[in-house]
Amino acid sequence: MKILVTGITRLQFTENHYLKQQLRVIPSEVALLRGLRELGHDVTMRQVKWGEDLSEWDKIISYAAPTDTFIADATDGFLWTLTRDDTLIAVDDWQVGRVLSDCLRPDAKWKDAFVGQMNGLEDKAFADFLHSKWCCGRRILVPAFEGGDLSLLINEGMSKIEKAEFDCEAMDIVGYDPNPLLPLRRPTTTFMEKERVWVVAGLSEANRKAWKKLKPTLPVIEVGKRGKGGVRMPEDEIIDWFAQRWFHYMPPYKHAGSGWWRARPQQISDGMAITVCSPAEGAIFGDSWVIEDPRTLESMDVKELRELAVQQRKEFVENHPVCSKGKERSISKLEEFIS
């Protein structure tokens, strides 16, 4: 099939755009393109223009994103793809509820601050109509680890829509694990002596601050923080930095237990370090990932820490393999999505 992949942000409609970004974080879009091509499809990724003829494409996959943001460069093109009833939707933002309920935010969407994303479009009435339909009744692809409850991803968005008494057909959600289809970035060192510090990584300051609930006694380093006291470096460089420190805290998402994909569990377990996350999220990775009281880690000796790191690594690899078995599973989910 001829498949067009597009979206609202440059990351969503420009192939390998992440290589031009400061942190060079590999997005799930890379896995989608690779998987579809593995299936033998002719795949093009590009921006769509309002009003263009889309009839040459057998399938269109459009990445949705919040429209009240300055990185929304092509909302008009995304909306135009919705003129086809068979257009499929993909989401790469962990705030899935915010993305799905964007149809309830026309005032934010059309205000002057974001007018550039419409690229001169004058047919506001029709664009408003398409926006009111947004993801309703569509099949939606999300990056997610096997074993999670995908309904948790759409519950918040659907609750807002239902509360607003908005007419929105049910959404069909499909998840796949991107890791087996990505050029994984792995540390060059694993068992070297590690620093006994806590690492909290995240681009959102609000999420990073969640570590305060742990009340750790060891030092805390914030990764992703700008300015004094923060650490920021490209993803392909920071994986070795992760491997040199024992304790890694992943702030929880509101939909913990959904299986929402993030690259860090793979990267940290590859570096034989220890991850602490929400118990609901950890249960998807393995029993050793469920750590009810993270402060108990601080009193462990090096032998105990290494044993736990090895166990986390073992369970993660078994439950979420990136070998041929994992690849076949992910490709099968993508085939289900486009069928």
Q: Tens digit of pLDDT for each residue in 74-85?
A: 999 999 999 999
Per-residue pLDDT at 295: 93
Distance CA 283, CA 156 (A): 22
SS (H, E, C) 268-296: HHHCCCEEECCHHHHHHHCHHHCCCCHHH
Residue (of 104, 47, 109, 110) closest to 81 by Cα position: 47
DSSP 17-68: GGGGSSS-PPPHHHHHHHHHHHTT-EEEE-PPPTT---TT-SEEEEEE--SS
Domains assigned to the chain:
2-182+324-338 (3.40.50), 195-319 (3.40.50.2000)
Q: Which residue has the higher pLDDT, 124 or 314?
A: 314
Instruction: Tell me the torsion sign for CA atoms 138, 144, 147, 152.
Output: negative
pTM (2 d.p.): 0.94
Q: Which two tokens stand for residue 305?
A: 């820490």
In this model, does residue 113 exceed pLDDT 70? Answer: no
Per-residue pLDDT at 141: 98
Across 85-89, 111-115, 174-178, least confident range: 111-115
Tell me the C-alpha to C-alpha distance, in Å, between residue 25 and each of 75, 139, 145, 183, 240. 23, 26, 18, 11, 15
Region 252-273: what's the mean pLDDT?
94
**DSSP H helices in the chain:** 10-13, 28-38, 75-81, 96-100, 106-110, 124-133, 151-163, 205-208, 235-243, 264-270, 279-285, 302-319, 324-338
In this model, does residue 23 exceed pLDDT 60? Answer: yes
Are the CB atoms for 150 and 144 separated by under 8 Å? yes
In this model, does residue 240 exceed pLDDT 70? Answer: yes
Q: Which two tokens stand for residue 23?
A: 């942190």
Q: How confident is the model at residue 210 (pLDDT cuts 50, 70, 90)?
A: confident
